[in-house]
Structure 1
Amino acid sequence: MVAGVFITIGLVLLSPLGTWGLSPQVTLTNGDHVGTVLSCGVSQWLGIRYAAPPLGELRFQPPVDPLPENGTQYAYEHGPICLPTGVLPSQQNKANYSEDCLFLDVYAPSRAHSESKLPVFVYIQGGGFNSNSHPRLNGTGLVKASEMGVVVVTFNYRVGPWGFLVDGDTLTPNNGLRDQRQALKWVKQNIAQFGGDPDHIVLGGASAGASSIAWHLTAYGGKDQGLFHAAVGESAAWGHVLTAKQARYQFNDLVVRVGCVRNSTQNTLNCLRKIPYEAIQMHGFGTPYPGQSLNPLFMWGPVIDYDMFSTPLIESFKQGKFIKVPVIWGDDTNGGSIFTSPFTSTVAHSNRWMRTQYPFLTIRKLNLLNMAWKNSPKEQKRCPDRDCWREQLSQVYGDMRYMCPSIYMSSAFPDHGSMDSWNYRWNVEDPDQISAGVGVPHVTEISALFGPDFVSEPYIRVPRTYREGEINENAVYVMQKYWISFIKTFNPNTERAEGTARWEKFDRKKLSRLRFDTGGKTEMEFVGTQLARRCALLFNKVYPRQAGGRMMIES
């Protein structure tokens, strides 16, 4: 095997390209690591520590730099996945998960070298801040699609109580987001060894990963610490946000369940840091927001800590307190379809479910929602048919959590003088998804971005028609070309696929965006009047020629 590796390297070094190939052994701030040279011309380094193990005294603490490893590390396998909320991994799956999980993977062209200065794409996976739901994304396909012109980095970060436990006093909040910043700092320090340019880093992510981008844009009042230089977010998720003190009930509930109630906060924390992880994992599930009776989909998450974050996202973007870099935001046509309750058969069911997710919603505000998202007269005739009310709830939730935030953020950039802002709608239909009643569901475009052969099931279910020879194979190619163009040049048009629409910048008057359609077709469209009014209602922002209301979500 060793001989085979060196033969491959030799072929790269003697290639007619005349470039020195990237050795699979790299010297990093935390020691020497050996990767794997793949036959396709891409090299990979898997399972590299970017922070010290968050164990013992470091449990529930901010991440710290990893110590140099003793000897050469063989980066051949992915690191463990961070523990999800309230799920104890089965014995069969236990090896894939661990509290010691702060690892990243790097994918780079094998012909690259330390002076290549290739654009870098750092991708934050989603999971509602309660799981790492897209682990082990393989960047090989994206590197190949870039014609060996980019470096891709993916990583794990702490979620659920492990990353977002806060007592409102002693514990440092938002450690999951601090993990992400630690990964970015590691990339900044080390990516040149893989052929990447530390001064050309594009931050990407989906769902909570895209929401994370929004938080990093607004961290410390929008102070630019040089960690990234452009950003692209798919279906950024805005949920209910508490202050650190308001979130103390989550801490209190957990310590009672695990039996760590003590006579002082410090003694309670000492207990939490000593008990087996299984105890916390078994009892770390979400609980209802105060005043509610049902658990929300995603309870653990970022809080306003008056350190990293002093205002909710909506206020930060409204006030212009964010880093001004080129951005792409967008969402899928039916972003709420996979989340809403299948038992929604009345408006009362719909209202109760919405208040479970957004407890600040009053009866008056719920009535405004129901009026703004009311079904057409034809559909109302068959209400309270279950599918009818579930469809309406899916639209409300999808717009409130995903679609309208992307439009709001896209408009905030030109509102504050940063004109390099683009928006999209992923409307690529897969027959199996359509027949399942989910339409074009949440973050389904991840399979297109990384390529259907480079995402790991069961973490991501690849639409059948995205594969080679199927109807949406071209949609994969088209998306990758736009994204790679943006990663390389901060503009999605520079290297877009031939015959595709020119992606116009977001027009805050017309609310312009690019629509991706079935088969790889693309076309510019304007956000419709009805959706614009709904978003105006949610965010108290009157878009030109649109009527706004007086309700906003907290986030």
Structure 2
Amino acid sequence: MAPLPYRPLVAATLALLFSTPLAQAKSVPKVVTAPPSPMVDLGYAVYEGTTLAAGVNQFLGIRFAEPPTGGLRWRAPRDPGRESGVKQSAKQFGPICPGVPESSLPIDQPQSEDCLFMNVFAPSDATETSKLPVWVFIQGGGYATNANPNYNGTEVVTQSGHGLVTVNFNYRVGLFGFLASEKVRADGDLNVGLLDQRKALEWVQKYIHLFGGDPNHVVIHGASAGAGSVAYHLTAYGGRDDGLFIGAAPESPFFPTSRTVEESEFQYDRLLSDTGCADAESPLTCLRTLDFSSLQKASVLLPLREGLGKPKHYFLPVVDGDFSQDHMYTQFAEGRFIKVPLLVGGDTNEGDTFIMNPNATTQEMANSFIHNNWPNLSEEDIEALSAAHPPHPRDLHEPYWGQGSDIYGNMTFACGGLLMSAAASKYVGADKSWNYRYNVKEPYNVAQGKGATHTSETPAIWGVGMAGNSSTSLGTYNAPMVPVIMNYYISFVKTLNPNTLKSRHAPVFEGFGTGDGERMLLEMPLKKTGMEPVLDAQVKTCKMIIGLAAKTEQ
């Protein structure tokens, strides 16, 4: 498949779219020691979970697909086989999927190719007839790692009045999840990391009632690449609605380059060369017979073109003409997505986490970072981006560091999120689209000269200590923000509206509306939290960025 043609409709449509009481979370859930332990029979296995003191049944490490190893590498996930034995323990998290070791997102978790496991948190008194709303979380990690594994849903279940079920899971990443070639298509499947997610959503439809959940009331939520994955499921198969969810909440949606299969052949060829499989009678069979460590050694970041530096992201979802039929900006601008209510979030300083050179002192250094990640941009394009994001001083950093952060943050996260909100306002309804900007700064980020960084609201959504980060001001002086954002999310999951069950201290969350759009500013002290317009300057900048989508392939 050749590079997709430029569609002026994308930029034009964007212009049209924009013109139109919580208890303190505990760091470790307490286990009830008294038997019996909760049990669930899935047909292929009987799992024994744990009942927590909070009145939550916790099932960890449930297998939802066959191990994607050996001959099943780069194939769509398959239903799990029957487990031997009377019952399986669901008391420990399963290993996460291996990714790119060189990624800037180090994960201190056991890893294995046999990684397709999920976790379920449900009220301990729920039954098969409870029909509780289901909150499915898709973790992020730039499609390079499982960066948000093993979040604990106990706190949100508790704070919902034991009125919902939460689910999270692993999926294949890096070369294991996103190796693309016509050779792979001919004897396997493309975008298998996204297909793993789809399999998990289908599993929820089939089995979640056994935990008390309602398969007809599922809301999907994701962070970063997980939010980008939410966008992929909204646009999957051209926006075909398979009844897998009725609402979506992308938190800092990740809109990276999405190459065609033809454009991705160089990665496949490099992998064959690096693993010694290039001269094999069947190179793909050779890759499938390699031991895990040999493949993992070849899972590295490499320049996208000769003469360039390394990009931030290398193995990514591709436009395959089936699951992913077009670039993301185009599909949302043209209304080719499932029409469900959307709650979209972002952070003020999305790009701060990703700038590779903290000491960029010249325009050339800043431009080089942009060119490494989007090699199809011309010098004129990069100059226009630089002019729209002038250098400016930031604490502990040179002015060009701030410029690079602003460009990367807008191109990769902020503009995609605003487009999703604007598209939902137009195609779903102005009262069914909400957007927020999170602007609460953490002291450890401030100490590094950073602001409100990418997905920094996550500990507030799940509860302090439930989302892998206990060292947060949200457990101390910024604690009043926790019930505000957590209950917006709980309310959205339960009622498809963030206002219905909002915290009594929270302002009314108005819809994105028409025109340039309005969003909720989440800031401390709480008196600063309230609705704000999307600034004209950002709207103008995003129009320019989306106008470059044919070159950036977003």
Alpha-carbon offset, residue 499 of structure 1: 2.9
Give the alignment partner of residue 326 of structure 2, picking from 283, 290, 311.
311
Decide which of 123, 126, 150 is 1:109's aligned counterpart. Answer: 123
Q: Please tell me whether residue 418 in structure 1 is matched to residue 418 in structure 2.
A: no
State the match for 2:81 in structure 1.
67
Task: After TM superposition, give the deviation of residue 318 of structure 1 in Å.
Answer: 1.4
1:36-59 deviation line (CA, Å, top 9, x unaligned): 011111110000000000111101
Question: Which of 231, 236, 239 is the aligned partner of 2:253?
Answer: 236
Q: 1:130 to 1:550 in 2, by over 3 A?
A: closer
- Partner residue, 1:372: 388
1:12 is matched with which residue?
none
Deviations 1:392-414 (A, max 9, x none): 11111111111111001110112
Q: How far apart are the structure 1 equivalents of 2:75 and 2:330?
A: 28
Equivalent residue number for residue 349 of structure 2:
334
Q: Is the 8 A contact 1:29 1:190 kept in 2?
A: no
Q: After superposition, give the CA deviation of every residue in 1:459-512 in whole Å (9 maximum; x if it has no partner).
A: xx4453111xx1111111111110000000000000001131111111230410
Give 1:5-404 correspondences, 5 Å limit: 7=34, 24-70=38-84, 71-86=86-101, 96-169=110-183, 170=186, 171-262=188-279, 264=281, 267-340=282-355, 341-375=357-391, 387-404=398-415
Take 1:523 and 1:476, find their aligned partners in 2: how far apart are those partners? 15
User: How far apart, in 1, do the equivalents of 2:471 and 2:530 lie?
Assistant: 22
Deviation at 1:312, TM superposition (A): 0.4
Q: Alignment partner of 1:247: what SS?
A: helix
2:552 and 2:267 mapped to 1: Cα distance? 21
Q: CA deviation at 1:552?
A: 6.8
Shift of 1:243: 0.3
Deviations 1:68-126 (A, max 9, x none): 212211111100011021359xxx96x81101000000001101111100000000000
Residues 110 and 313 (structure 1), Cα distance of their counterparts in 2 relative to 1, 3 Å cut? same
Greater alpha carbon shift after TM alignment, 162-171 vs 477-486: 162-171
**Are residues 285 and 390 of structure 1, via their aligned partners in 2, closer, same or farther at CA, if it must alter by over 3 Å?**
same
Q: 1:476 to 1:213 in 2, by over 3 A?
A: same
Q: What amino acid sits opposite 1:507 in the alignment?
A: G
CA distance in 2, matches of 1:268, 1:181: 28
Residues 480 and 450 of structure 1: CA distance in aligned 2, closer, same or farther (over 3 Å)? same
> How many Å separate the matches in 2 of 1:534 and 1:7?
59
Q: Distance in 2 between matches of 1:293 and 1:87?
A: 17
**In the alignment, is residue 491 of structure 1 matched against residue 507 of structure 2?**
no
Give the whole-Å Cα distance in 2 for the aligned partners of 1:102 and 1:366: 41
What does the per-residue CA deviation read over 1:256-290, in whole Å, with 9 as the maximum and x for residues that have no partner? 111111355xx111111111100010111121113
Aligned to 2:28: none
**Match for residue 487 of structure 2?**
481
SS in 1 for 2:263: coil
Aligned equivalents of 1:113, 1:316: Cα separation in 2: 40
In structure 1, distance between residues paired with 2:551 and 2:73:
35
* Identity in percent: 38
- How do 1:517-528 residues align onto structure 2 when only pairs under 5 Å count? 517-521=523-527, 522-528=529-535
Q: Which amino acid aligns with 1:307?
A: D
Question: Equivalents in 1 of 2:307, 2:45: separation in Å?
Answer: 50
Tell me the TM-score normalized by structure 2.
0.89
Deviation at 1:5, TM superposition (A): 6.5
Aligned to 1:513: 519
Q: Deviations over 1:400-448 (max 9, x none)?
A: 1111110011101122243311100001122332232111101111111
Q: What amino acid does structure 1 have at the position aligned with 2:340? A: V
Query: What SS does structure 2 have at the residue aligned with 1:81?
Result: coil
Is it true that 1:427 corresponds to 2:411 in the alignment?
Answer: no
Structure 2 CA distance, aligned partners of 1:455 and 1:484? 16
Give the Cα–Cα distance (whole angstroms) in 2 for the partners of residues 208 and 29 of structure 1: 32
* Structure 2 residues not aligned, in runs of 5+: 1-30
**Rounded Cα–Cα distance in structure 1 between residues aligned with 2:295 and 2:466:** 33
Residue 360 of structure 2 aligns to a residue whose secondary structure is coil
Aligned residues: 514
**What secondary structure, in the 3-state scheme, does the structure 2 residue paired with 1:98 have?**
coil
Whether the 8 Å CA contact 2:484–2:505 is kept in 1: the answer is no
Moved more, 504-513 or 390-399: 504-513
Root mean square deviation of aligned Cα: 2.1
Aligned partners of 1:80, 1:87: CA distance in 2, in Å? Answer: 19
| Mean Cα deviation higher: 108-117 or 520-529 | 520-529
| Counterpart contact for 1:346–1:386, Cα < 8 Å | no
- CA distance in 2 between counterparts of 1:350 and 1:195 reads 52
CA 1:161–1:536: 2 relative to 1, 3 Å? same
For the residues of structure 2 that align with 1:224 and 1:303, how far apart are their CA atoms? Answer: 21
- 8 Å Cα contact 1:29-1:189 kept in structure 2: no
